Structure 1
Amino acid sequence: MERRPSDLRPGRCAACEGGVSALSPEALTQSLAALTDWQVKDAGIERRFRFRNFYESMAFVNAIAWIAAREDHHPDLQVGYDYVLVRFQTHSVGGVTENDILCAQAVDALIA
């Protein structure tokens, strides 16, 4: 069942609780089709977002922080004056899980 960003649920992600495996290469490729401009890099997925200024970059970071807190699934962020690099990886499984894909979709929805 596909979830939309508007379907975000509170609580812990399943991967952090255990019993979840990283997506297979085939499943990851298929999942990336539902995302915009995300790329696989070093056992994770990442996307660089561009903004006009630091204020817009930080506003975007704060919106991501809200999603991460609600999902209890936290990205690595790199922030500059006019960009934010967002990276999702479920470290406990050493790869990308469905939770990473769902959170990436929610981040995409912020700028859609």
Structure 2
Amino acid sequence: MLEVPGWNMVDEGGTLKLNRSWKVKSFTKGLELFQAVADIAEAEGHHPDLHLTGWNNVKIEIWTHSAGGLTENDYILASKINGLDLQQFLTRKAA
């Protein structure tokens, strides 16, 4: 099975997903992170589920809805998100 550093594979009711969480500096930094991820997602034509809870907890879930689980495209998208300079968005201690 493929792995992407920092991403966890979870089974939600029989559906495999990749997810990753971060603590961001502020609510607006969370939205800026989402925009950076959205730019990649649009270019890839593959869209993750984005969650902002509380004011600074970001979670991204990636899976292929039409396949009902993980495909190679999910790992590619996670890798491209890892390529972002996340430090501008995150608190000093990443979750």
TM-score interval for Structure 1 and Structure 2 normalised by the shorter chain: 0.7 to 0.9
| Structure 2 residue aligned with 1:85 | 59
TM-score normalised by the chain length of structure 2 = 0.78
Deviations, residues 13-56 of structure 1 (Å, cap 9, x unaligned): xxxxxxxxxxxxxx2xxx21xx2221111211100011111121
| Structure 2 residue aligned with 1:9 | none
| Structure 1 residue aligned with 2:9 | 40
1:76 to 49, 56, 59: 49
Equivalent residues in 2 for 1:60-75, closer than 5 Å: 60-75=33-48
Return the letter of the residue paired with 1:39.
N
| Structure 1 residue aligned with 2:82 | 108
Return the letter of the residue paired with 1:50.
K
Matches of 1:89 and 1:58, distance apart in 2: 21
More helix by share: 1
Root-mean-square deviation (Å): 1.3
Work out which of the two has the higher radius of gyration on C-alpha atoms and give 1 or 2.
1
2:72 to 95, 98, 109: 98
Identity of aligned residues (%): 31
Q: Which structure 2 segments of 5+ residues have no match?
A: 88-95
Q: Which structure 1 segments of 5+ residues have no match?
A: 1-26
The runs of 4+ residues in structure 1 deviating greater than 3 Å are none
More strand by share: 2
TM-score normalised by the chain length of structure 1 = 0.67
Count of aligned positions: 81
